[in-house]
A = this chain, B = another copy of it.
């Protein structure tokens, strides 16, 4: 299985009279991990939605080509900024949501699928919550279930919108390791607000900047992901990244 790269062209989005971006063009290499940063409200989540082919309330257009020319549909997993757990299924059911909702147990049997979901749950530290209702989870626990659900999909292209924003620093590092491992050769586009997180995980850094926004690329540190926290490159890059983020939103 080799995940496709994505070539985004002429992405435009306007809310009312306000163009968020106009004729944006970005390329995402196959199997690479891109971190998308930008000021709050600059359109990161919206861009992710457009790539995922989701509806937006106002005028928008996008041309999205895959590197292998096959449709993206069915090879994509999306983790939204909200956890989107469904209250009528227990935690385990929420992790296996894709399988449950599609109703076909493609390949593995039901018990194998369940095994895998349980394994993922214990990887995100929630083995003991498999049979809990989502309503009985803390904010960070909910986010971890949503992460497990996304990883469970085992998709070639993974879009994640601030996936670690609600967990504590230690858990966050553990989840970095987990995600790096499980998404090793996938095409990942991840929105984050944490510069260090971006520098640990990304092959490519992309900062949405200005209005209408341009996508400003920045070189990522070298070396295997996830990079060690004490990697001296990180500190060096961090200053550069923060400076880039600081640039006035209104050009």
Contact = CB atoms under 8 A, between A and B. Distances in A.
A194 B245 CA distance: 19
Contact of A165 (B46, B165, B169): B165
A44 B46 CA distance: 32
Interface string A73-92: 00000000110000000000
B168 A37 contact: yes
A165 B162 CA distance: 10
B169 A242 contact: yes
Given A40-B141, A41-B141, A136 B15 contact: yes
Interface in A163-195: 165-172, 193-195
A172 B170 CA distance: 20
A38 interface: yes
A144 interface: yes
B167 A40 contact: yes
A10 interface: no
A137 to B, nearest CB: 8
Q: Report how many copies the assembly holds.
A: 2
A195 B166 contact: no
Nearest to A195: B169
Contact of A139 (B81, B167, B195): B81
Nearest to A37: B168
Contacts of A82: 139
A135 to B, nearest CB: 9
A41 B57 CA distance: 35
A45 interface: yes
Nearest to A198: B169
A246 interface: yes
Interface of A: 15, 37-41, 44-46, 57, 81-82, 125, 136-141, 144, 162, 165-172, 193-195, 242, 245-246
